[in-house]
Amino acid sequence: MILNVDLHCHSNVSDGTLTPAAVAARAKANGVDIWALTDHDEIGGIAAARAAAAELGLPYVAGVEISITWAAQTIHIVGLQIDETNAELVQGLAATRGGRERRAHEMAEQLAAVGIPGAFEGALKHVGNPDLISRTHFARYLVEIGRCADTSEVFRNFLTEGNPGYVPHRWASLEQSVRWICGAGGVAVVAHPGRYKLSDLAFDAFFNEFKQLGGSAIEVITGSHTPDQYGYYAKVAADYGFLASRGSDFHSPSESRVDLGTLPPLPDSLTPVWHNW
Ligand code: AMP
Ligand code: MN
Ligand code: MN
Ligand code: MN
């Protein structure tokens, strides 16, 4: 039997729009067999997610998606099967979240300079967790005021490198993120590798360093990959001996292209990250 496994999605504890319980219910309704909530830099939704999953009889895995900076790029590392009470993980994530408010004020200043005042307060209205203000919340505000038709249009014109509202940020290191995850008993997974703009040479260095630090998996089937990239990263997983993960990266019923539990299965040739769970 092929299990429908979804190990990457977001609630309103980070930049999703649904509560952890509502995401659990949606996963169950969509036929997911094993589910992980992976909010950005935040474990505050885990208790509610676990309780809702238990109520639904939905097998649940504690997860997180950590923002890191590597070679001046923002990269995301997912941690699965983590002990969310681990002190070093808790402190590391708190420190990672710490810079977000200052960054958000700078983003708002840049937007004000191009004629969009009040974006900090505007974004804050969309925030479910004041500790986690993200670019997505600014994007929702720009849609709300009619400046852009949808959040994709926002990210093409604002908040990204070279555009107003982009504030470069130094996140955790690769070494820290893998140490926090593995130290908490978890498995470290490179999120949506197809989204990063790295040369083949840089990718090779990145995957080798990740593996050497104790990282063991990459996402192959994700809502952030094109079907061509499924094949490409299946080969990468095989070449480097990584386990393979699958996750929608669902954020919102109205914004996300891919819903929970609706992606194709992993290619048969790969070892799923959940093989021994
Ligand atoms: P932040 O962690 O504050 O930098 O925000 C990053 C989040 O913005 C990602 O997790 C996505 O949810 C969203 N995002 C970034 N780039 C795009 C894009 N091009 N289209 C849609 N959402 C994006
Ligand atoms: Mn996000
Ligand atoms: Mn991500
Ligand atoms: Mn994500």
Ligand 1 touching residue 135 (CB < 6 A) = yes
Give kind and range of the element (H or E) at residue 24: helix 20-29
Kindly give the distance from the C-alpha atom of residue 136 to the centroid of ligand 1, in angstroms, as a whole number.
6
CB 217, CB 182: distance < 8 Å: no
pLDDT value of position 16: 98
The SS3 of residue 140 is helix
Question: Rounded to 5 degrees, what angle do the CA atoms 29, 34, 39 make?
Answer: 90
Q: Which of 41, 100, 135, 156 to mutate to test the pocket of ligand 1 (most atoms within 8 A of CB)?
A: 135
Q: How far is the CA of 65 from the centre of ligand 4 (A)?
A: 6
CB 155 near ligand 1, within 6 Å:
yes
CB of 67 closer than 6 A to ligand 1? yes
pLDDT in tens, 44-103: 999 999 999 999 999 999 999 999 999 999 999 999 999 999 999 999 999 999 999 999
Q: Which atom of ligand 1 is nearest to 169's Cα? A: 4
Amino acid identity for residue 7 in this structure: L
- Give the residue from 190, 194, 200 showing the smallest Cα distance to 232: 194
Nearest ligand 1 atom to the CA of 67 is 2
Q: Sign of torsion, CA 134 190 8 260?
A: positive
Q: pLDDT value at position 120?
A: 98
How high is the pLDDT of residue 108? 98
Average of per-residue pLDDT across 196-214: 98
Residue type for position 8: H
- Could you tell me the strand order of the sheet in which 73-80 lies? 5-6, 34-37, 60-70, 73-80, 187-190, 217-222, 243-247
Whole-number Å distance between alpha carbons of 55 and 91: 30
The tally of CA atoms less than 13 A away on the side-chain side of residue 251 is 17
Top mutation candidate among 102, 133, 155 for ligand 1, by most atoms within 8 Å of CB? 155
| pTM exceeds 0.85 | yes
Contact 64, 42 (CB under 8 A): yes
Residues 4, 261 contacting (CB under 8 angstroms) = yes
Nearest ligand by distance to the CA of 152:
1
Which residue in the block uniquely carries the two structure tokens 């999703």? 16
Tokens coding 161: 């490198």
pLDDT confidence of residue 6: 99
Ligand 1 centroid distance, CA of 270 (Å): 28
Distance (Å) from CA 65 to ligand 3 centroid:
7
The residue whose two tokens read 């609630």 is: 11
At residue 2, what are phi and psi to the nearest 5 degrees? -90, 120
Decide: 12 in ligand 1 pocket, CB within 6 A: no
Nearest ligand, measured from the Cα of 76: 3
Do 44 and 129 meet the contact criterion of CB atoms below 8 Å apart?
A: yes
Does ligand 1 have an atom closer than 6 angstroms to the CB of 15?
yes
**Average of per-residue pLDDT across 216-235:** 98
Banded pLDDT at 1 (limits 50, 70, 90)? confident
Instruction: Give tens-digit pLDDT for 121-180.
Output: 999 999 999 999 999 999 999 999 999 999 999 999 999 999 999 999 999 999 999 999
What pLDDT, on a 0 to 100 scale, did the predictor assign at position 87?
98
What would the pLDDT profile of 165-201 be if each residue is shown by its tens digit?
Answer: 999 999 999 999 999 999 999 999 999 999 999 999 9
pLDDT confidence of residue 169? 95
